[in-house]
Structure formats: C-alpha cells, structure tokens
Structure 1
Amino acid sequence: SLMGGGGILSAAPQLSTVLVLLLLCVHSLRRLLECLFKATSPHPVGPIVTENGSIKGNLGFIHAFVASFSVIIVSELGDKTFFIAAIMAMRYNRLTVLAGAMLALGVMTCLSVLFGYATTIIPRIYTYYVSTALFAIFGVRMLREGLKMSPDEGQEELEEVQAEIKKKDEELQRSKLANGAPDVEAGTGTTLPQSKWHRFISPIFIQAFTLTFLAEWGDRSQLATIILAAREDPFGVAVGGTIGHCLCTGLAVLGGRMIAQKISVRTVTIIGGIVFLAFALSALFIKPESGL
C-alpha cells in the first residue's frame, strides 16, 4: 500500500519541513514588505497603509485574502498542477507528493507577490485601474473559453499530464536501475542507509516540486496573484494564495481521480470568468485610495 505505516513515517519529516519552510517564507515576506512600506514615498503607491486606521488595515488584509483565495480556487481546480498532484499521488506516497507540490506552490506564490509589489513604485491609481482592466480581460477570456468548451474538456490535459509523468517515471526507474537502488518511495525493496538530505529530499519529492513549479510558471493563477499583489494587501494575497493552493493540492492528493471525474472543467472555467469580472466591476464602487 502506498499509504502504509512506513510510507507515512518516511514522508512525515518532509511534510513538516515543508510546513516550516512555508511559514518562514511567509514571515520573511511579511518582514520584507514591512520594510518596503516604510521606505515608500508619501504619495499613494501600492496598497494603502494607514497609521490610525487599524480597521481599514484589517479590512484590506481580509479583502486581499478572500480575493486571492477565491481566484486560486477557481483557477486551480482541474488545472494542470491539480492533475499532476492527483496522478502522482496515485503512484507514489501521498505525503511526499503533497510536500513537494506545496513547497513549489508556496515559493511560486511568494515570488508572484514580490513581482506584484515591485510595481508599486508606480502611483497606485495607475496600477489599480490597469489591474482592473486585466481582470476584466481575464474574465471575458475565461467566459469565452468556458462557453466554447465541450463537457468533456480537460481530458486532453489529463492525458498530457499522464504521459509527462510516465516519461519522468521511466527516467527515474532507469536511473534507479543504473545506480542499483530499490524503489523505496513506493514502499518496495530493502531500505538502505540514507544521508540526512535524502530522507527529506527524495527523487519523488524533487519530481513533484519540479513538475508543479514548471507547470505553475506563467499560469493564469500566477498572473492573477501578481495583479492582486499590485493593488491589494500583499501579505493577505500571499496567505490567501498559499492556503488556496494547499486546499486544491490537498484535494487532488486525497481524491484527485474522483474529483477529476466529478467536476466539470467547463463549469469551473465559467465560474472563474465570473469571479474575475466581479473583481473588475468592484473597482467601479471602490476608490483606489480606500485601500480595499
């Protein structure tokens, strides 16, 4: 069994290490953004920070958190990264796959937030309305794609991911045979003495991290995170995005095949388009100076 007692114990250090790394990344990002906030010029740029408005600051964080979380959910369910986690979890230890994918998505989210915050050297009024226009464009594009999709859309992407993972599996098996190493990750073979690093960074962990990171780079959810970080509270965007990714990846790992069969990529795409358009329309009622 992939989830046997030995498999869980062997992957537990990886998962705990990843959780610690994610917490350190988010904490470091927060400290970095706080330092950057203090160095910003007096004119309104980027997310609004007020000295006497703790309520406004809290609302800004909540608004950014909800926006980032919801955008990630509608963008990632049935996405390529979702299928990668689902298929790998059916072949290998689930905790190892979850740890590798979570670390990749956490790092990607923090990088995207930093990219988005870098645009705050531009006055906020410009980045606010440019990001609003981009959300509108994304929303219209997703609606068009969703309406043109067939009910069975997503099967091709699933097959593409399966072929890609199968190719990686063959390369991994050839490497193991060449080195005379047993298939420890799947719970077979005799466990040999391992270095401390190999206990935490196994070939499957690296494969899950690499495939997820490359699939996420330039993806719609990454672009949406960058746009949100340019107009919302960046810490709220980072936390909401990370939790959203963890939820989607967790669902993929725990019941990816069942969920992939139940959800409709067409429906999720249409809902995603509506969510993006809703954020764009909200700009008509919220002023850039409000900080929300």
Structure 2
Amino acid sequence: MPITDVLRAFATVFPAELPDKTMIATVVLVARFRRPLWVWVGAVAAFTIHVTIAVAAGSAIGLLPDAVVGTVVAVMFAAGAVVLFRSARAGRDRIDDAAAPVTAPSARAAVLGSFGLVVLAEWGDLTQLATAGLAARSDEPVAVWIGALAALASVAALAATFGRQIVARVPVHRINYVASGVFASLALWTVVELVTA
C-alpha cells in the first residue's frame, strides 16, 4: 500500500473538513455533553461508515472509462471548490454560544448523540464526495480509506479538544478559502491528467 495515496487522501480531506459543519457541530456537541472523548468516539464511528461508503462508491466509479472517471472527479472537486469559496465569502460558519445548553449526560448519550448527528450531517458532504473521487482515481482504495478516515478523525479530535479556541482565533472563512484552493487545485490536476493521458 503506497503511502502517497494515504497522504493524498489526508491532505485533501483534512483542510476540507476543517471549516465543515461537522467540525462546528462537534464543537457544539462537546459544549453540550461536556465529554470530548465520547463525542469524538461517536463522530469517528459515523465517519467510518461514511468513508467506507465513499470508497466503495468511488471504486465502482473507477470501473468506468478513464475519461468518464476524470470528468466526474474534476467536476466533483470543482463543485467542492465553489461551495467552499461561497461559504467563505458568506462567512456563515459561526458558533452561537447561547445555542449550547449546559448538561452533563452519560458517556453513552454523548457517543449516540454525536454518532447520530454526524452520520446524518455527513451524507453527500464535500469530504465524502472528495473521498469517492480519490478512490475512483486510485488503485489503492484501502489507502484512500485510511487517509480519509485519519483526516476526519484528526479534525474531530481538534474540534473536540481545541474547537472553541481555534474558531475564536482563526476565522472559519479563512479556513474555507484554504480548503477551496485545495479543491480547485485537485480539480485542475485531474483535468491536466485527463488531457495529458
């Protein structure tokens, strides 16, 4: 298993997930449940399901002719870049401290609540589409799975541990701009590969 596929998946998914609604949701869940570890466990369990589905779908797409796969992947990355750029311009990702009630539920409630929210919020998410695109272009779906899941788990860990401090210091719209640039670069790279192949 080439480490380059793992690193490519990580480098693609990590910056895209930073400004994502799931990171914000994880911060809010930690504030609500006051159990960062268990919120993280629930989020990672949900991410595992999504990454598995994305890699399976991407691998199926990868069976199509190269020109079709390249076009689909380039469009997915370009669409992701546009969505992230528009989100950055709108500056919509903000945390409302008043919306996070203070409670101290059980670890089980934190895991189940986090799992339920993330598993629903991630359907059709940019990172799921990016993971499918990477799997479609790779002969190493396991490496893509590992890299994408590691990126999602890392962002969830950051959100659970430092989320409020990160959002307070680094405006989310700036993170969105960086992620948009990564997606645009990947779209361009895919088009160049398609044209030069």
How far off is 1:271 after superposition?
1.1
Q: Which residue of 2 aligns with 1:154?
A: 93
The 1:184–1:278 alpha-carbon spacing in structure 2 relative to 1, beyond 3 Å, is: closer
Map Cα deviations across residues 167-214 of structure 1 (whole Å, 9 max, x no partner): xx9xxx9xxxxxxxxx6627xxxxxxxxxxxxxxx2221111001111
Which residue identity lines up with residue 229 of structure 1 in the other structure?
A: A
1:131 aligns with one of 50, 73, 86: 73
Measure, in 1, the Cα distance between the counterparts of 2:113 and 2:87: 31
Match of 1:106 in 2: 48
Greater share of residues in helix: 2
Structure 2 equivalent of residue 225 of structure 1: 131
| 5+ residue gaps, structure 1 | 1-56, 174-182, 187-201
Specify the code of the residue in structure 2 equivalent to 1:261.
A
Aligned counterparts of 2:59 and 2:121: Cα–Cα separation in 1: 23
Partner AA of 1:136 in structure 2: A
* Structure 2 CA distance for partners of 1:162 and 1:238, relative to 1, 3 Å: farther
Name the SS for the 1:121 alignment partner. coil
List per-residue Cα deviations over 1:63-102 (Å, max 9, x = no partner): x323321222222113221122222223332221111111
RMSD: 2.7
CA apart distance, 1:281: 2.0
Whether 1:203 aligns to 2:142 is no
Which residue identity lines up with residue 106 of structure 2 in the other structure? E
Larger radius of gyration: 1
CA, structure 1 residues 285+92, in 2 after alignment: closer, same or farther (shift >3 Å)?
same
**Alpha-carbon deviation of 1:289?**
10
Q: TM-score, structure 1 length as denominator?
A: 0.59
Q: How does 1:66-77 map to 2 (within 5 A)?
A: 66-77=7-18
2:165 & 2:71 partners in 1: Cα distance? 40
Question: TM-score, normalised on structure 2?
Answer: 0.85
Whichever residue aligns with residue 34 of structure 2, its letter is Y
Q: What is aligned with 1:142?
A: 84
Percent identity of paired positions between Structure 1 and Structure 2: 26
| 2:122 equivalent to 1:216 | yes
What amino acid is the match of 1:71?
A: T
The residue identity in structure 2 corresponding to 1:86 is V
